[in-house]
Amino acid sequence: MSSSGNATGKRAGRTQRALSRRALLKGAGGALVGLPLLHSLGASAGPSSPIKRLVLMYNPNGTVWDAFWPTGGETDFVFGEMLTPLQPFRDRVSVLKGIDLAVTAVGPGGPHQRGCGGLFTGRELQEGTFTDGCGSLAGWANGPSIDQVYAEHLGISTALPSLELGIRATAAEVRGRMFYKSAGNPVPPVNDPQQVWSRMFWGSDGDPDARLVQMDKRRSVLDSVQAQFASLNPQLSPADRQRLDAHQVMVREMELRLELAAAASGGSEPELACPKPPNPGSIAFDDAGSMPLVAQLQMQLLALAFSCDLTRVGSVTFSSAINDIGYPWLGSTDSGHTLSHAGPSDEAAQRELINRGKWQAEQLAYLMALLDNIPEEDGSVLDNTIILWGSEVSLGNVHSHTDMPWVLAGGAAGALKMGRFLEFDGVPHNRLLVSVLNALGVGVDRFGHPDFAVGSLSGLEA
């Protein structure tokens, strides 16, 4: 596993300080995760129906094909250089070639915008006023992303609907938003691990009786808030009503989740014995040198959230399509976006891009290792998790949307063919999204834009 220890000069001191904080997140036994899986807050899941989890991972500006695609056949493949960090989990990784973001041919926007919007929604962009050069304008994606669809499918069964983790994901616009609760309603990532920690363990202090009182007060307040929404509703224009209705639904769902958590903690037998790790403390999370540390902390928190069943849905967003940042610990200090525009003959640039991509794969491997350390039934949480990793373009220097660099990871509870290098024939990625949803038990026959939402990805399902 890579460490963040290579930073030099002034940054090193800061990283070092931050690293010592990381120790706080670790329990006495070392890693923070590796806790036994505790009782689910919701309906008990029998051994016949394992809890399935979904993680979507994004990194920007495409890849370098020669270093990304495996060589060899479906099962005897050899990872390209970029994906070698996944070697320890070879049996639980599938690399998918020949899948296109066909939906990017539809609707407004520039190539990065369309790619970001369509990546996990399978949808075109709405009309809008976000710019992407060329005076091209676009709005948000025109539908929900699969993580939010799965969260919706799960209903109110965990304290958090989903956990959106950012690692320097600072673009607060369409080129930095891959996850959508509904059409036009993006879900933002949180870049500060301390904020994630606060969200996960919000209100977990105090004795059970005090928490029941707190819940009673919240119930009264939130009921009044619901009533105010209802009271205002008839006076709104249709556009306003749509936005405020979405807000009201979020308030209602939050209330139900709070009820759930309060009930779990207030019973006669304290069921939720999920130990709260120490506050990770203040981290310079937008500092270039902190990025490796932040990535590790965020994924530790995600693993912990799964371990405690605080949620079953997560996403990890590295940077954004604007990606104007360096990876100084790799000696790659310039804007990644600028770098991605370098041509294939520029060997130095390709080397930097490969190093960055390899680092991304290391992050995935790190997350997989964390999840694999959490025992669950006969295996690990990883066995019951699907991780889907993608980028908004295939090659940065042509902004292509064909042969997208998709990686599937985790055991997918046995529903998908893993340990494969699967080559498809230019199929729309909507089919991949359908297959992932079906593997999670959502049961759909189409997803996303109707022109491309035709069935699942035959050959992927186990």
Site for other proteins in 173-212 (CB under 8 A): 173, 177, 181, 185-188, 190, 195, 199, 202
Strand partners, 130: 138
Shortest reach from residue 213's CB to other proteins, in Å: 8
Interacting positions 271-330 with other proteins (CB under 8 A): 286-287
- 218 to 257: interface string for other proteins, x by CB under 8 A: x-xxxxxx-xxx-xx-xxxxxxx--xx-xxx-xx-xx---
> Out of 133, 205, 269, 450, which residue is the one contacting other proteins (CB under 8 A)?
133
Q: Is 148 helix (H, G, I), strand (E, B) or coil?
A: helix
Q: What is the β-pairing status of strands 379-380 and 375-376?
A: antiparallel
Q: Any residues with CB less than 8 A from the CB of 71 and at least 6 apart, and which?
A: 77, 78, 80
CB contact at 8 A, 358 and 85: yes
| x/- map, 138-177, other proteins, by CB under 8 A | -x---------------------xx-x-----x-xx---x
Distance CA 125, CA 415 (A): 31
Asked if 333 is part of the footprint of other proteins (rule: CB under 8 A), the reply reads: yes
Residue 455 corresponds to which tokens in the numbers above? 């069935």
Site for other proteins, residues 6 to 65, rule: CB under 8 A: 10
Q: In this complex, which beta carbon is closest to other proteins, that of residue 60 or of residue 411?
A: 60
Rounded to a whole number of angstroms, the distance between the first and last alpha carbons of the chain is 30
Rounded CA separation 15/8 (Å): 10
76 residue type, one letter = D
**Scanning residues 65 to 124, which ones bind other proteins (CB under 8 A)?**
110-111
Residues in the chain: 462
CB 82 within 8 A of CB 354: yes
Of 18 and 374, which CB lies nearer to other proteins in the complex structure? 18
Shorter beta-carbon distance to other proteins: residue 107 or 410: 107
349 binds other proteins, rule: CB under 8 A:
yes
Of 37-45, 69-77, 275-283, 394-402, the segment contacting other proteins by CB under 8 A is: 394-402
Contacts of other proteins in 399-428 (CB under 8 A): 399
Which amino acid type is present at position 43? A
Of positions 90, 153, 341, 417, contacts other proteins by CB under 8 A? 341
